[in-house]
Structure 1
Amino acid sequence: MPANSANLRRRFHSAVYDRNLGKSLQRLWAAARPQFVDAVTDTPVPVPYWSGLGRPGLLDPTGAEKSGGSFVADDQLARTALSIRELDEALTRRQYGYESVDAYYAAASSDQRLALIESPLLLLNAYDDPIVPGVSLRRALDNARANPNLLMAITADGGHLGWCEPSDPTGGPAWVERVSSGFLEAVLGIEPTDACENLGCEIFD
């Protein structure tokens, strides 16, 4: 997440991707705002921290001492946020008890938790993903290789959750469906067949 945040601050990414994502988050904040702002005074009010802060065995103990307490969101920043980072500063890092956005990003990155996964998992990323660039996947790739439950595939092309079909670039990502189904077939021990009457076989073929 720190690398992805830095990537989104590049000139083009900031002006196109992050700005539009920020505007979308503004709309989500507008819908959620009544939970954080007093309707009469139109000022932010204290709301409880995320309840999970007090849960034992947390992967990240940051903020555990704040369990049962409350925080105040930055309503002004949330209403004008033009980036994911600004919304995370206004709300997310506060709700989860972090002192800064950078501390939240460092703790929330999923790549450091790959070693804990005990069920078979397929991880797909494209190296040219403009949001999650390939260079930011190094630690994830190392951790995936160290866990026999994980299969991580990084394609040269594909964009951000794209993998469009050359024959139908505006259609659904059939390649992802084929790869995911093949992974499930292997994990579940399903033998592909041309003659199958139930829905499961039709999905996995």
Structure 2
Amino acid sequence: MISMSPATAVLSGAFIYFAYYFTYYSRKPEFFIKNGTRWARFLENHVSSLKLKYSSLFWVPGGTIQTVVAALLPTKHDVQYRRESVATPDGGQFTIAWTNEKAEEGRPIVFVYPGLVSTTKSKYVQLLTDALVKEDHTVVVMVNRGLELPCLTGKAFCATHTTDLAQALSLVKKRHPQSPIVSIGISLGGLIMARYLAQKGDQSDITAAFLYSCPFNPVEGSANLERWHHWILYNISLTKELKEIYLKSHDKFVGIVDHDKVMSARSIREIDMHFTSKVFGYESVDHYYTDAIISRDFLHSIKTPTLALCADDDAFVPYQALPRDEISSTDYVALAVTSGGGHVSHLCGANPYTTPYYVTMFVDYVQAVLSHLDELPPRQ
């Protein structure tokens, strides 16, 4: 039997943890892109953050808990927006919110499209917007129907519904026709934005796009979230929020969904089973999730320069479901995958209040795009 003093045990444990951490959690991201393309040369030459190591939060490096930690951190930001309601052709409405507006012809615009239950007040939206404003960018945040404004019709939002996003981007472009638009779609917002880019092809209103924690394959993502520990950490709270959102406008969905089944849902999947799939006319939740997959054909239809960032331990975006080979065969899409980082988290270093990795990378990306517009791959 080996005996050691408490001090030796502590030092040995610390050494083992340091070795483990720097072996698995302090690496450059895996990078997937078609070599030799103009897009590959652009990213290599101008987006320096892609070459840096990502050192996941030292005290909580794994993404499962880090995602929760990031969501619970008190926000230090209070970005002020000018909000407006946008009426949709079918009688609905959604929000767009502006900050740091300036009357300059051709001034670049950063368009932010957040995730499932996120609004302009969500912590990561405030954090990201604050960082962009500090770089003197004009920022527009889109918020889906039913989140900041109640639903006016029996239509909400879903992963395959791109009409509202297209309308928001068209509105911004019509008001500022000379302004380049750099966009970021986050989580569900990234999934919808990827579909929009594929549908629009070379007619997209976006100059360059960034997809963060995009769940490219909702079938795999949903199955992973149904695992018991992910259900406890994520599903319980998100399902509660989705029910609260539904209740604000539930009278608009009478005759479309079964109210009691929606209110008895115990997971995001069951919300999508009893609400989302019914509202958007799907035969089943499996039909909806399968239709929402960003397939190889979709990726090859994207003609807007696009960079995606994911973590290899994101519960919503399982590593095995990432379209790494498919992206590596496209001319306009690239994917960076970090060791650790979780879902919409990417805390780093020893201090949880250090600027998250995704914010640093996106700000770097925006600057690279706006400084070298003439080097972006042409749409064709």
Kindly indicate whether structure 1 or structure 2 has the higher relative contact order, using CA contacts under 8 Å at least 6 residues apart.
Answer: 2
Aligned to 1:164: 347
Aligned residues: 155
Q: Which has the higher strand share?
A: 2
Q: CA deviation at 1:21?
A: 1.2
User: What SS class does the counterpart of residue 13 from structure 1 fall into?
Assistant: helix
Identify the match of residue 130 of structure 1 among 315, 331, 356. 315
Look up the equivalent residue of 1:30 and give its one-letter code: L
1:78–1:91 CA contact under 8 A, matched in 2: yes
Distance 2:345 2:231 in 1: 20
Aligned to 2:333: 150
1:21–1:82 CA contact under 8 A, matched in 2: no
Q: Which has the higher helix share?
A: 1
Aligned to 1:103: 287
Aligned to 2:364: 182
Summarize deviations over 1:102-127 as a string: whole Å, max 9, x none. Answer: 11100112244222111011100000
Distance 2:325 2:277 in 1: 28
Query: Does structure 1 residue 21 correspond to structure 2 residue 225?
Result: no
* TM-score, normalising length: structure 1: 0.69
Summarize deviations over 1:142-201 as a string: whole Å, max 9, x none. Answer: 22111111111011111111111214313541x22332233334444449xxxxxxxxxx
Summarize deviations over 1:71-121 as a string: whole Å, max 9, x none. Answer: x21211111222111111111111222111011100112244222111011
2:307–2:335 CA contact under 8 A, matched in 1: yes
Distance 2:240 2:324 in 1: 32
Query: Does structure 1 residue 90 correspond to structure 2 residue 278?
Result: no
Correspondence list, 1:25-64, <5 A: 25-36=242-253, 44-45=254-255
1:128–1:158 CA contact under 8 A, matched in 2: yes
1:23–1:81 CA contact under 8 A, matched in 2: no
Aligned to 1:119: 304
Distance 2:230 2:325 in 1: 27
Distance 2:228 2:289 in 1: 21
Distance 1:117 1:93 in 2: 26
Distance 2:369 2:295 in 1: 22
1:125–1:153 CA contact under 8 A, matched in 2: yes
Identity %, equivalent residues:
32
Aligned to 1:11: 228
Distance 1:148 1:188 in 2: 20
Distance 1:141 1:111 in 2: 11
RMSD: 1.9
User: What SS class does the counterpart of residue 249 from structure 2 fall into?
Assistant: helix
2:324–2:335 CA contact under 8 A, matched in 1: yes
Structure 2, unmatched stretches of 5+, are 1-217, 374-380
